[in-house]
Structure 1
């Protein structure tokens, strides 16, 4: 029997318009209120971009942000777990990424820092909607002077076409960091050992829930670790084929009520919910 459900946001919880469908909110409410489910979100997003969605679906467990580098109780503001990249490692990482021609994005107090405004950084800033962005002339010096740590680093590659991250660079990075590809050309980089999977395990252990009782749902590279951890790791129908290979089940797409399909198939197969029931 399943007792915990953890979902990604982009491409999973949100539809093509970037909204949480009303049906999804109602399904999650049924799971919490009638089935006693623990429900939460695991996302690569920063807290400032994830909290409103977490509140909208009324999560009842701590929120996992920055791919697991931050676990926070959004209702009490208690930061339960923090695993940022420390200043020394952060400077090494920035130097390496710049040598390979990447634009580097770091995070400070829920703002983003870039070295310049150009096509690539503006693409990321637009993705972050209304988040404050500041330009720092020399990012390595900035980190050094402030002894700054960052929950993760976003490395922006080519935004005009999908260009694979070089295997040699990936190999170097993976010696000290966790790397998740984003749209092939870009990377999310966290401290070694930090992942959505390790964060979901941390929460499951805290609630004394076995991995076999956990359902995780996602569609991206940074979801792989939690798909592998969970007793039931589910990939969205819109996920890349590579991601689907790690899942135990493939549901419908994020625009086809994939969550309803999961609930009816695995949680309440004897009393299926229809879309009409939710309207």
Structure 2
């Protein structure tokens, strides 16, 4: 079989209900890697909360973080590494207007930077705590342009802030809304999405678009599922994403749906 680029979303896709990689999923992905395929994590998560999963998988391939904003090979220097950013002035504007927009918490990040407006707030383990004084998000500490801004907002003011961001900064950033219980917005550089990441990987590994197989479940996987030669959506995925899929897994992410599908697709079963 021709070498494939296997692009894996994490939450709701590769990870089970406990946000872990199951033994079966790990075994299948390692088998795919040994068979010569490029297995890559392509996630909206920052590096700091996907590193452990990458290490657990024990594969040495590139990883895409921040929905396409960062492409790198962890623990080594990769000459094809990239990181996209947008102006830190946007963060400064939002910091000044936190009350107006109902912003409860904001974090600015890049590969090795994390700053947050409140050192003690916890949301779904996503926002890091506790932070030291150099990690408080303010004008002094935010010395370089971020790759991502994550914003926890008052649900009642959500439409107002989205409208402001799109009107004022729409030519500089993409405004994403998180799936899940908390009203969280995410800003990324304009034109950045997961398809940017997988195209970068495919070009570098000389893999044709038709040999990319991508797995996802949520709206931030849309461009990747659309771009891949074979886009597979989890049975627990959104209805909107399923409309774009080449196929849908029979089982969901809590039942090793991805592993079972990939094992059959690549004919990896012993």
CA RMSD of aligned residues (A): 3.0
Query: How high is the TM-score relative to the length of structure 2?
Result: 0.83
Q: Give the Cα–Cα distance (whole angstroms) in 2 for the partners of residues 222 and 97 of structure 1.
A: 25
Q: Which runs of 5+ in 1 are unaligned?
A: none
Q: Compared with structure 1, are the counterparts of its residues 234 and 137 closer, same or farther at alpha carbon in structure 2 (3 Å cutoff)?
A: closer
Q: Shift of the alpha carbon at 1:94?
A: 4.9
- Please say which of residues 218-227 and 201-210 is displaced more in the overlay: 218-227
Query: How high is the TM-score relative to the length of structure 1?
Result: 0.80
Q: Shift of the alpha carbon at 1:106?
A: 1.1
Q: Give the Cα–Cα distance (whole angstroms) in 1 for the partners of residues 69 and 136 of structure 2.
A: 25
Q: Which runs of 5+ in 2 are unaligned?
A: none
Q: Compared with structure 1, are the counterparts of its residues 189 and 233 closer, same or farther at alpha carbon in structure 2 (3 Å cutoff)?
A: same
Q: Give the Cα–Cα distance (whole angstroms) in 1 for the partners of residues 110 and 132 of structure 2.
A: 10
Q: Give the Cα–Cα distance (whole angstroms) in 2 for the partners of residues 253 and 162 of structure 1.
A: 32
Match of 2:208? 210
Q: Give the Cα–Cα distance (whole angstroms) in 1 for the partners of residues 74 and 111 of structure 2.
A: 16
Match of 2:41? 41
- Please say which of residues 89-98 and 176-185 is displaced more in the overlay: 89-98
CA deviations 1:1-29 (Å, max 9, x no partner) are 56110101111111111211111111112
**Aligned 1:1-279 pairs, distance under 5 A:** 3-34=4-35, 36-78=36-78, 80-92=81-93, 94=95, 99-102=100-103, 103-107=105-109, 110=112, 112-116=114-118, 121-123=121-123, 126-128=125-127, 133-134=131-132, 139-142=137-140, 146-158=142-154, 165-166=159-160, 168-169=163-164, 171-172=166-167, 173-183=169-179, 185-251=183-249, 252-268=251-267, 273=269
Instruction: Say whether the 8 Å CA contact 1:94–1:140 is kept in structure 2.
Output: yes
Count matched residues.
Answer: 262
